[in-house]
């Protein structure tokens, strides 16, 4: 392999393995970013849920595609909860996020364990029974965080 190509591939591999981290010019940008990430996550998570719950037909290719998006989106919101992004306009985020950081981080990790560790591989397997078995715990991990940290609207 040509050295230049090898270097380019190595850079690409690093870029994919390091968690995304955007620099936000202002708090509103971070808030919009994390809300958008959750919107994308919920949309594709919802499709997997509809398949798991028999509301729509199971389609293995669609489930795989949704799982790819879920796998990325589930990693995105967290770095957009930085200092100062609790202020300003009303958002869905409760102030407890910044007061109970360890607990919030734990909830985020629990979600990623259930989603990245279990649901995503199950959805990619093409086996509906695996999808059914892992969707409930994943949804529960969403709810656990919402109960403590999302503003009721
Ligand atoms: C979804 C969605 C959520 C979670 C939550 C699970 O599909 O949009 O926020 O699941 O309802 O309890």
SS3 category, 83: coil
Cα–Cα separations (whole angstroms), residue 131 to 25, 120, 138: 39, 9, 10
* pLDDT exceeds cutoff 60 at 98: yes
For 38-57, the pLDDT digits (tens) are 999 999 999 999 999 999 99
For residue 143, give the ligand 1 atom closest to its CA: 12
What's the pTM value of the predicted model, to 2 decimals? 0.86
pLDDT greater at residue 77 or residue 88? 77
Residue 26 has pLDDT above 70, yes or no: yes
Residue 143 in contact with ligand 1 by CB distance below 6 A: yes
Cα–Cα separations (whole angstroms), residue 120 to 64, 65, 68, 78: 8, 10, 8, 19
> Nearest 10 degrees: CA dihedral of 124, 130, 134, 139?
70
How far is ligand 1, taken at its centre, from the CA of residue 82, in Å? 23
Work out the average pLDDT over 82-97: 87
Q: Which atom of ligand 1 lies nearest, measured to the CA of 139?
A: 6
Q: Which residue's CA is the nearest one to ligand 1's atom 7?
A: 46
Give the chain's mean pLDDT.
89
> How far is the centre of ligand 1, averaged over its atoms, from the C-alpha of 106 (Å)?
18
Note the pLDDT of residue 3.
52
The predicted pLDDT at position 140 comes to 98
Instruction: Assess whether pLDDT exceeds 80 at residue 89.
Output: no
Could you give the CA distance from residue 104 to residue 124 in angstroms, rounded to a whole number? 28
Q: How far is the CA of 29 from the centre of ligand 1 (A)?
A: 24
Q: Extract the tokens encoding 60.
A: 């293995």
Residue 72, pLDDT above cutoff 90: yes
């Amino acid at each position: 392999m040509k050295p230049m190509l090898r270097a380019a591939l190595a850079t690409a591999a690093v870029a994919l393995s390091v968690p995304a981290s955007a620099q936000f010019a202002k708090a509103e940008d971070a808030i919009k970013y994390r809300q958008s990430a959750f919107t994308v996550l919920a949309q594709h998570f919802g499709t997997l849920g509809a398949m798991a719950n028999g509301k729509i037909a199971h389609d293995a290719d669609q489930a795989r595609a949704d799982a790819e998006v879920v796998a990325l989106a589930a990693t995105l919101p967290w770095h957009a909860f930085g200092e100062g992004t609790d202020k300003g306009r009303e958002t869905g985020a409760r102030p407890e996020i910044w007061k109970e950081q360890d607990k919030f981080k734990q909830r985020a990790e629990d979600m990623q364990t259930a989603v990245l560790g279990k649901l995503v591989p199950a959805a990619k397997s093409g086996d509906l029974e695996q999808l059914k078995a892992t969707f409930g715990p994943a949804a529960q991990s969403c709810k656990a965080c919402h109960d403590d940290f999302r503003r009721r609207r």
